Chain A
Amino acid sequence: MTQTLRFKQSSHLDPALSDPATRTLNADKLIGRWVNTNSETQGIAEIVIQRDGEEFCVSAAGVGADCPIAWPPTRARVLANLEEEAGQRAVALAATFEFGFMTAETYLRINKGVLVIVLFSTFRDGSGRSNYVNREFYYRQQ
């Protein structure tokens, strides 16, 4: 029996979305310790991505005034990637870090061997700081 799929755009009907292999395609390319390509960054210095079966966990270290600030490990959502990027298609991750005074929503993907992180920060502390978006690049620490 065939199922009628509901959709809001044609890509919702892509047969690859029903292929279990799509869920974890090249996921291992994300695993490891990633270091910011910008040695002068004042943002996230490094990212660690770990995998346990089909689950992924992301932790980070922000640049602090005196020493790195550990961001707590957060479970990431795995997202199939329907794009072809230089023939290196791999899953992407979405992870939300909750700090109380601030929420950081991130998505992480691989592009040509570089980990690209886009971070949307939302402040909830009435400090007057603007919510902001930032993008940084990371290389794999061997």
Chain B
Amino acid sequence: MQFTQICDWVDIDAASAGAIDRAGLIGAWVNSNPNTKGVARLLVAESKGDLSVRAYAIGPDGLIDWGTADVTVFGSSPASRVAAGFTCRYDFGFAETLLQGMILKGLIVLAQFHSFKDDSNRVAFFVREYFALDHGRF
């Protein structure tokens, strides 16, 4: 087994190897910052075995629906079978955005990487915000 750090050298039981349990990611996640100028809400849903994200961002005149993007799911270790994070990409033509989410203490910490492809000369930038699961219990 190849590895570049010893934590990646693990015994994998063939019987347990398989898909990661993604239940912990599914739901509506709301930005904890009411004054955000970025992503306001994430809807993570599973359909026919595929996980997708639908993002809504704050625009000058209200929410902007980014549409859906396919999600790659990550565990917390090479032996883990429970979701601890995800990534997805949006290509808007004039810009690309990579979202990297990581579950920490029940929150999604969402890192956003924005790169511009137009001739506006805007610099690529990074934002990190926190999202809580809108559980509807209280």
**A contact set with B: CB distance below 8 Å:** 3, 5-14, 17-18, 20, 22-23, 41-44, 62-65, 69, 71, 77-83, 92, 94, 97, 99, 101-102, 104-105, 107, 109, 118, 120-123, 125, 127-135
Q: Give me 13 other A-B pairs in contact (C-beta within 8 A), A7-B59, A121-B74, A134-B7 excluded.
A: A8-B90, A9-B59, A17-B116, A20-B123, A22-B125, A62-B5, A63-B7, A69-B4, A101-B2, A109-B128, A121-B78, A130-B81, A132-B74
Interchain CA distance A65-B6 in the complex, whole Å? 6
Contact present for A129 and B100 (CB under 8 Å): no
In whole Å, how far is A93's beta carbon from the nearest beta carbon of chain B? 9
Do residues B77 and A132 form an inter-chain contact, with CB atoms below 8 A? yes
Q: Is the CB of B6 within 8 A of A12?
A: no
Give chain A's interface secondary structure class.
mixed
- Chain B positions within 8 Å of A, measured between CB atoms, are 1-10, 12, 14, 17, 20, 37-39, 57-60, 64, 66, 72-81, 84-85, 87, 90, 92, 94-95, 97, 100, 102, 111, 113-116, 118, 120-128
Q: Which of A71, A102, A122, A134 has the most CB of B within 10 A?
A: A134
Contact between chains at B126 and A63 (CB < 8 Å):
no
Set B3, B74, B95, B122: member contacting A120, Cβ < 8 A: B74
Residue of A nearest to B60 (CB): A10
Contact indicator A132/B5 (Cβ below 8 Å): no
Q: Is the CB of A123 within 8 A of B5?
A: no
CB-based contact B79/A129 at 8 Å = yes
Question: Shortest 4 CB-CB distances between A and B: which pairs?
Answer: A62-B5, A128-B17, A9-B57, A133-B85
B95 and A12 contacting across the interface, CB-CB below 8 Å: yes
Instruction: Give Cα A11 to B79, complex, Å.
Output: 38
